[in-house]
């Protein structure tokens, strides 16, 4: 399944957008990140350690730091990079098609 999120310029570099499951039809909320490398990445929005929104975290390079307990995740792979989280985040495919962000889940 896919969902058209909107134009690419709606997420500035170094920022994220939470896509609500109620709006997209996905099984969970998904965070789309516009990384410093210029690419877009998508992870499950909820941290795997505790209930916290990764879209509200700090983005540096291709990592996001959870705003609650500072676990970090690789945006490309979803791999957890430091405790207290120890479970990787689910990744989703996001594409740019004709200037629009397309999320696949």
* Chain segment 36-83, per-residue pLDDT in tens: 999 999 999 999 999 999 999 999 999 999 999 999 999 999 999 999
* Tokens, residue 49: 């350690």
Q: What is the pLDDT of residue 91?
A: 98
Tell me the domain boundaries of the chain: 2-94
Q: Please state whether the predicted TM-score (pTM) of the whole model is above 0.85.
A: yes
Class of domain 2-94: mainly beta
Phi then psi for 9, rounded to 5 degrees? -75, 0
Q: What is the pLDDT of residue 103?
A: 98
Q: What is the pLDDT of residue 58?
A: 97
- What's the mean pLDDT when you consider all of the chain? 97
Cβ atoms of 105 and 21 within 8 Å: the answer is: no
Cβ atoms of 75 and 43 within 8 Å: the answer is: yes
């Amino acid at each position: 399944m896919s969902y058209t999120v909107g134009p690419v310029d709606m997420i500035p570099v170094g920022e994220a957008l939470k896509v609500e499951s109620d709006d997209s039809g996905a099984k969970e909320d998904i965070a789309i990140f516009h990384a410093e490398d210029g690419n877009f990445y998508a992870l499950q929005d909820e941290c795997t350690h505790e209930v916290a929104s990764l879209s509200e975290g700090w983005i540096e390079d291709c990592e996001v730091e959870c705003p609650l307990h500072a676990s970090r995740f690789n945006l490309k792979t979803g791999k957890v990079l430091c405790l207290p989280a120890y479970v990787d985040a689910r990744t989703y495919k996001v594409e740019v098609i004709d200037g629009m962000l397309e999320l696949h889940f």
